[in-house]
Amino acid sequence: MKKQLGYVSERLERLSVDMEKSQLRDYVNLMHKPWQLIWRNLVAGVSRGIGITIGFTFFAATIVYVLQFLGALNLPIVGDYIADIVRIVQRQLEINPH
């Protein structure tokens, strides 16, 4: 009998540790407070959007910079093509500065 109670106690302890690791209590509390869930998702979405925007801006600026550098090298065929792309991008930036 003691052996079985020890086994059950050990299993319950392991189960409680696993539940604590999975943060099940926090999930249940969040389900009872839908406005808090909406707020967290809104903040997460805005943060993701700002991160994507900043990342794409740096990426695009780097590409334009590299294209300008390659256009300055005056490579025969590639240089003209790159120069046209840079001119188009600069014209678009003058038309729509934001």
Q: Give the separation between CA 49 and CA 55, rounded to whole angstroms.
A: 10
Please say whether the beta carbons of 64 and 89 come within 8 A.
Answer: yes
The confidence score (pLDDT) of residue 97 equals 65
Looking at residue 98, its pLDDT comes to 59
pTM over 0.75: no
Amino acid identity, residue 50?
Answer: I
CA distance 3 to 9: 10
* Contact indicator for 79, 73 with CB cutoff of 8 Å: yes
Q: List, for residues 7-59, the tens digit of each pLDDT value.
A: 888 888 888 888 777 777 777 888 888 898 899 999 999 999 999 999 999 99
- H/E element, 41: helix 34-72
